[in-house]
Chains A and B, each alone.
Chain A
Amino acid sequence: MVNVFDEQNRLTGTRVLPLDEAYKAIGLPIRPPDVQSGRGRVLWATGSSAGLIYICLSDTPGSGPGYVAVVNAMTGILSGVIRAELPTATGRANPRFNPAGVIVPTLGAADAHLVIADRDMQVVAVY
């Protein structure tokens, strides 16, 4: 959900974020969050000065890539999905699930560039 407030912190509108549409756009199944197993659908969200909300999808393959939905903050409409190729770190290598050692996109920021970081590996990728 998105709540829109004006300068006086008055609620002016509420919109539903199109997460289902984002998952559909990348061809992944639409699954509701599972609180018991800890499986969510969003890793992080951030905004840009262009009025876009960047939402990193979490229910995606662990070996990458990272998927970031881009939503217009004022309309709530999905404007697209970024398929971010992630760098590797030796500490992330797992022979079975992540042989290349692709980083986990645990943090993100966006403005002129999209920035994705792996908190534990201390790796930052600028796009």
Chain B
Amino acid sequence: MGKNCLTILFDTYSAAVMSQVSPALKRRRWCVVLSSLFLIGAPAVSPQVRSSRPVRSLQPVTVIDLRDSTQSETGMTCDDIRDITEVGTRWAVLLDCPAQKSALVWGDEKSKHFLSVDGPFDRIAMDSAYNLVLRSVPAASSDATIGLTRAIVLDATGAVSRRLTIKSRGVRPFQVAGTVRWATQSGSFTDAELNSVDTAHLNTYILTPTKIHLNGSMS
């Protein structure tokens, strides 16, 4: 009596499977063949495994073109944005403008405020009370050669509340968790410089006082 189709199919399949296994496993023909059936349909393992970390898409909720709005609000045509910062929902932008001037724009989801300040400044930071710290451009004076960094503090209304002189070369203000501190590096960040950037951030993340905190001596 001839074999039926299923028997022929099984014999063919099991012969193909058994040709791929070691002699020790050939004695367990049924186990091997049945196990192989569970592997059919399993995804092939690629050496280029894509990371499972989530990628989240975000659309801007607000887009602000400061070129025209700063001109209409302050009367100055500014060259570029020097620095930006954010605490909570409040952001602030520092712009470089002609004639040793800087423009300051801050706002939140509801409003925007513009201010012209005598400068120039190149860095901005904000604390949890929304005080703004602006660092003077070191090259604008002889301070850089003698290791002085000057800055001003504006309160939440934009009025100058303090003037600072810090005895340390190349410091820049930054803030995380609403605390302004100073880091001894500047410029754009590269892989190598991330070390000091993150160091700075971690310092302020651990420390969460709500006052302006200076890491350096003041005079």
Contacts and interface: CB of A to CB of B under 8 A. Distances in A.
Interface of A: 1-7, 9, 17, 19, 21-22, 24-27, 33, 40-49, 51, 53, 55, 65, 73-74, 78-87, 89, 107-127
8 contacts: A25-B55, A82-B58, A83-B57, A83-B58, A85-B59, A113-B91, A122-B65, A123-B63
Contacts of A89: 65
A74 to B, nearest CB: 8
A127 B61 contact: yes
Contacts of A78: 53
Interface string B34-74: 00000000000000001101111111111111110010000
A50 to B, nearest CB: 9
A4 B89 contact: no
B87 A115 contact: no
Contacts of B188: 43-44
Given A83-B58, A107-B81, 13 more contacts: A5-B199, A7-B206, A40-B190, A45-B198, A82-B56, A85-B59, A86-B60, A110-B86, A113-B86, A115-B84, A117-B84, A124-B64, A124-B84
A24 B72 CA distance: 44
Contacts of B195: 1-3
A6 B62 CA distance: 37
A111 B126 CA distance: 12
Nearest to B105: A124
B194 interface: yes
Nearest to A87: B63
A123 B191 CA distance: 25
